[in-house]
Chains A and B, each alone.
Chain A
Amino acid sequence: MILKPLPEDFKIIGHYLGKVLLGLSFTLAVPIIIGIACREINPTFDFLITLEIGLILGLLLKKACYTEKDLSWMQGMLVVSLSWLMAMFFSAIPLYLSGHWKSYLDACFDTMSGFATTGLTLVQDLDHMSYAHNFWRHFIMFLGGQGIVIIALSFFVKGFSGAFKMYVGEARDERILPNVIHTSRFIWLVSFVYLVLGTLSLGIAGILNGMRVWNAFFHGACNFMAAFDTGGFSPQSQNILYYHSMPYEIITIVIMILGAINFKLHYHIWMGNRKEIIRNIETVALFIAIMLTFYITAMGLVRLNTYPSAVMLLRKGFYQLISAHTGTGFMTIYPNQFIFEWSPLAMAGLILAMGLGGAVCSTTGAIKMLRIGIIYKALKEDLKRIMLPEKAIVIEKFHHIKEIFLEDKQVRSALSITICYIGLYIFGALAGKFFGYPFLPALFESTSAAANVGLSCGITSPGMPAALKVIYIFQMWAGRLEFMSVFTILGFAVALIKGRR
């Protein structure tokens, strides 16, 4: 029997949403400081207005729904999924006020794209954007990559149980350290260490490329956040092509791969267990998948002689492929070049790479390598069962930090999430087809949105149908939260209608 939600459920959810909104409001201090430092007065006003709105609504919500009760699983999941929607609407305010987005919907599209670390964008005249707004675009990817609810609530939540429910709700089902707070702190430590190193590397590369010092480090910080959080925004409209630099491309490739690796693996590498890199099922699967998808992409490019030399093939073909596979979305070509210069086979290679994704407990989206590895092991086990004598005991193991015996529940979970992702990719492709786009580009764009990648073949633009923008927003949201929180919302809606007291 389904139980109808009680007023107390709404109160708890409202109370935590208020806390999340207050936490998010505090993060606006960073662009405000940048705006003041760069003497950008109107952009600073945009962020101050948003900060004040956030504090007013957050305080009201927190007080009106005051409770000391802890979250249940259902409430935790609902808080996460609603928080992401609330964060989208809230963080879009300064972007919309900047005048660089055609409509509030377009600004919402970009904030969801940022939080979900996708990288698809509807911005206009990016090359004249203020430093404060440009930084905010990248900063929301940094927040989204770590998990906005966990970040926002780290200001307020004292108990561990509520935090863990929301940690899981944000598609982070692996604890690196014994409790969530320590795990979150470790993720922050890793991110900050890499932020310093990545910004320095990209900043120095920028200076050597001929950029002004401030611009080189500003771009370095923004591009680091976009690469490590596998987001894909960049401060200029040409994305990474703007820099015309092979060293810059190599550094971003390294950061993208670091971002696509499980934080748990980072922890073990930091602790000196370097052998884990070659033993872990995820890194092995990622390596094989990159090789296979690059082979397909390269075949497609060679067939049309799109890039006649090996250097070109690597700088264009391999770069887009790594960007796709890690879910980043950095581009060194123009979106329309996919349509006019890349063969369908090359695009299919990228679609496959986008659909597979990186590691679990990283900032990438998509199906992810652990699930692909588990499904492969399950198939192998089934094949063995068929081939070996009936009495033979077949046991399959995989190495993920430790040796793990393959169990049915792991296979079921991996398969169900995989099916959900494939369904989401196809749903968006059919929607694109419905709005008059050819199937392959529609599938490309849909996979890019649902897998939180951000590569575009030109469909994503301010002029695209509003309904398609909403569908892509839904795909980015559902893809980032890995469906569980989305299903909880549906379940809650059903309980509201059909539930009994």
Chain B
Amino acid sequence: MIKRIFIPILVFNAAMLWAGVSFAQPLVSSTQLIDRAGGYDGQVVTYAGEVIGDVMKRGDFAWVNINDGINAVGAWMSISLARHIGYSGSYKNIGDAVEVTGVFRRACPEHGGDLDIHAQSMRKVAPGRFAEPKINVDKRDQVFILLGVLGVVWILTMFARK
């Protein structure tokens, strides 16, 4: 399980590093956006991370939540941009690693004060994939061993005097 969590993070970070070196775009982290929201308010920022949860379509636009490994930040984008998302992160999926560039709002007037990014462009840095974990053999064995112990205890307690 530890591998399942950390390998995607490592792969994702490597992809982000590659994107940073290749295109030399200054990326901002979610921590920077949240902790220094006033400073970034109204500015065009580039934020990268893994798409998580549902891509929530609202008319001609969609909400896409993007997690950079620390926090997830909502990006409001047109359907034409959101259409490129193939996978979103969940238990069985590693979501697409994307990089969005757009206007950051500390308290978005259009969205009731949400801290968000109105995406102008989005680039897929690394595609997501189906990543169902393999069966954990140790856990399976433990289930059967404990089942045996439970059977013995149950029989013993049935015959034990009150």
B149 touches A238 (CB 8 A): no
Q: Is B65 an interface residue (CB 8 A)?
A: yes
Give the residue of A62, A63, A341 whose beta carbon is less than 8 angstroms from that of B37. A341
Chain A positions 52-104 with a Cβ under 8 Å from a chain B Cβ? 52-53, 55-56, 59-60, 62-63, 66, 97-100
Which of B52, B63, B67, B107 has most A Cβ within 10 Å? B107
B65 touches A236 (CB 8 A): yes
Chain B positions 6-42 with a Cβ under 8 Å from a chain A Cβ? 8, 34-38
Query: Measured between alpha carbons, how far is A307 from B112 in the docked complex, in Å?
Result: 9
Q: Is B111 an interface residue (CB 8 A)?
A: yes
Q: Which residues of A contact B157 (CB under 8 A)?
A: 59-60, 62-63
Chain B nearest CB: distance from A393 CB in Å? 54
Give the residue of B5, B55, B153 whose beta carbon is less than 8 angstroms from that of A99. B5
Contact with B along A308-351 (1 / 0, CB 8 A): 11011101100000000000000011101100110000000000
* A307-B113 contact in complex given A52-B143, A56-B149, A56-B150, C-beta closer than 8 Å: yes
Q: Is B62 an interface residue (CB 8 A)?
A: yes
Chain B positions 98-154 with a Cβ under 8 Å from a chain A Cβ? 106-107, 109, 111-116, 133, 135-136, 139-140, 142-143, 146-147, 149-150, 153-154
Query: Measured between alpha carbons, how far is A97 from B138 in the docked complex, in Å?
Result: 12
Give the residue of B65, B74, B133, B146 whose beta carbon is less than 8 angstroms from that of A42. B133
Q: Which residues of B contact A157 (CB under 8 A)?
A: none
Q: Which residues of B contact A127 (CB under 8 A)?
A: 52-53, 67, 72, 89-90
Give the residue of A49, A99, A211, A244 whose beta carbon is less than 8 angstroms from that of B4. A99
Give the residue of B35, B111, B113 whose beta carbon is less than 8 angstroms from that of A336. B35
- Cβ-closest chain B residue relative to A243: B56
A307 touches B136 (CB 8 A): no
Contact with A along B43-78 (1 / 0, CB 8 A): 000000000111111100011010100011010100
B52 touches A236 (CB 8 A): yes
Q: Is A210 an interface residue (CB 8 A)?
A: yes
B143 touches A130 (CB 8 A): no
Chain A positions 291-316 with a Cβ under 8 Å from a chain B Cβ? 306-309, 311-313, 315-316
Q: Is A124 an interface residue (CB 8 A)?
A: yes
Q: Is A212 an interface residue (CB 8 A)?
A: yes
Q: Which residues of B contact A53 (CB under 8 A)?
A: 146
B35 touches A340 (CB 8 A): yes
Give the residue of B1, B56, B107 whose beta carbon is less than 8 angstroms from that of A316. B107
B67 touches A237 (CB 8 A): yes
Consensus secondary structure, chain A interface: helix
Query: Measured between alpha carbons, how far is A133 from B73 in the docked complex, in Å?
Result: 23
* A46-B139 contact in complex given A59-B153, A59-B157, C-beta closer than 8 Å: yes
A244 touches B63 (CB 8 A): yes
- Cβ-closest chain B residue relative to A305: B107
Q: Is A267 an interface residue (CB 8 A)?
A: no
Give the residue of A45, A130, A244, A336 whose beta carbon is less than 8 angstroms from that of B139. A45
Q: Which residues of A contact B147 (CB under 8 A)?
A: 52
- Cβ-closest chain B residue relative to A339: B35
A340 touches B37 (CB 8 A): yes
Give the residue of A49, A97, A130, A333 whose beta carbon is less than 8 angstroms from that of B91. A130
Q: Which residues of A contact B1 (CB under 8 A)?
A: 42, 97-100
Interface size class of A (residues with CB under 8 A): 35 or more
Query: Measured between alpha carbons, how far is A315 from B112 in the docked complex, in Å?
Result: 6
- Cβ-closest chain A residue relative to B51: A127
Chain A positions 239-254 with a Cβ under 8 Å from a chain B Cβ? 241-244, 246
Q: Which residues of A contact B90 (CB under 8 A)?
A: 127-128
B53 touches A55 (CB 8 A): no
B150 touches A52 (CB 8 A): yes
Query: Measured between alpha carbons, how far is A237 from B67 in the docked complex, in Å?
Result: 9
* A128-B91 contact in complex given A99-B1, A211-B54, C-beta closer than 8 Å: yes
Q: Which residues of A contact B114 (CB under 8 A)?
A: 241, 244, 332
Give the residue of A42, A46, A312 whose beta carbon is less than 8 angstroms from that of B107. A312
Give the residue of A45, A52, A59, A210 whose beta carbon is less than 8 angstroms from that of B63. A210
A308 touches B35 (CB 8 A): no
Which of B53, B63, B111, B160 has most A Cβ within 10 Å? B53
Chain A nearest CB: distance from B100 CB in Å? 15
A66 touches B34 (CB 8 A): no
Chain A nearest CB: distance from B155 CB in Å? 10
Chain B nearest CB: distance from A51 CB in Å? 9
Query: Measured between alpha carbons, how far is A212 from B57 in the docked complex, in Å?
Result: 10
Q: Is B83 an interface residue (CB 8 A)?
A: no
B72 touches A311 (CB 8 A): no
- Cβ-closest chain A residue relative to B146: A52
Q: Which residues of B contact A215 (CB under 8 A)?
A: 53-54
Give the residue of B55, B76, B107, B160 whose beta carbon is less than 8 angstroms from that of A307. B107
Q: Is A40 an interface residue (CB 8 A)?
A: yes
Q: Is A280 an interface residue (CB 8 A)?
A: no
Query: Measured between alpha carbons, how far is A52 from B142 in the docked complex, in Å?
Result: 10
Q: Which residues of A contact B63 (CB under 8 A)?
A: 209-210, 244
A210 touches B37 (CB 8 A): no
* A311-B34 contact in complex given A49-B139, A99-B4, A242-B72, C-beta closer than 8 Å: no
Name 19 interchain pairs, CB-CB below 8 A, sorted by A: A40-B91, A45-B139, A49-B143, A49-B146, A53-B146, A56-B150, A56-B153, A59-B157, A63-B160, A99-B2, A129-B91, A210-B63, A236-B72, A238-B74, A242-B74, A246-B112, A311-B112, A311-B113, A340-B35
A residues lining the B interface (CB < 8 Å): 40-42, 45-46, 48-49, 52-53, 55-56, 59-60, 62-63, 66, 97-100, 124-125, 127-131, 209-212, 215, 236-238, 241-244, 246, 306-309, 311-313, 315-316, 332-334, 336-337, 340-341
Given A40-B91, A127-B67, A242-B65, 7 other A-B residues pairs in contact with their CB atoms under 8 A: A42-B1, A66-B162, A98-B1, A128-B4, A130-B91, A238-B72, A312-B107
Which are the 5 A-B pairs with shortest beta-carbon distances?
A99-B1, A210-B56, A312-B113, A52-B146, A315-B112
